[in-house]
Amino acid sequence: RKKMVKTALAVVLALAVTPALAQRKDCNELKDEIDAKIKKNGVKEFSLIIVGMDDKEDGKVVGTCDGGTKKIVYKRGM
């Protein structure tokens, strides 16, 4: 009985999370959200660049968007 309850709970949680995973986050919207968070942390000189997932770009990947087809790269300084 406990195993059945755990299995049912796992299924319910998986179904609850699935819509969030399936949504495609707009790159510009996500970039704006990341930009605001970085500025809130006091960083003044930085850039965020949206590139394709396979593109080589120096910097740190801070997000993915458009269903995982693009990434947002952070570079400190200007």
| β strands within the chain, DSSP E | 46-52, 60-65, 70-76
- Residue 49 confidence (pLDDT): 95
What Rg value do the Cα atoms of the chain yield, rounded? 18
- Residue 77 confidence (pLDDT): 82
Whole-structure pTM value: 0.68
pLDDT digits 0-9 by tens, 29-68: 999 999 999 999 999 899 999 999 999 999 999 999 998 8
- Residue 31 confidence (pLDDT): 93
What helix, strand, coil percent values describe the chain, rounded to 5? 45, 25, 30
**Tokens at residue 33, please?**
């959200």
- Residue 2 confidence (pLDDT): 57
Query: Which band of pLDDT confidence, cut at 50, 70 and 90, is reported for residue 76?
Result: confident
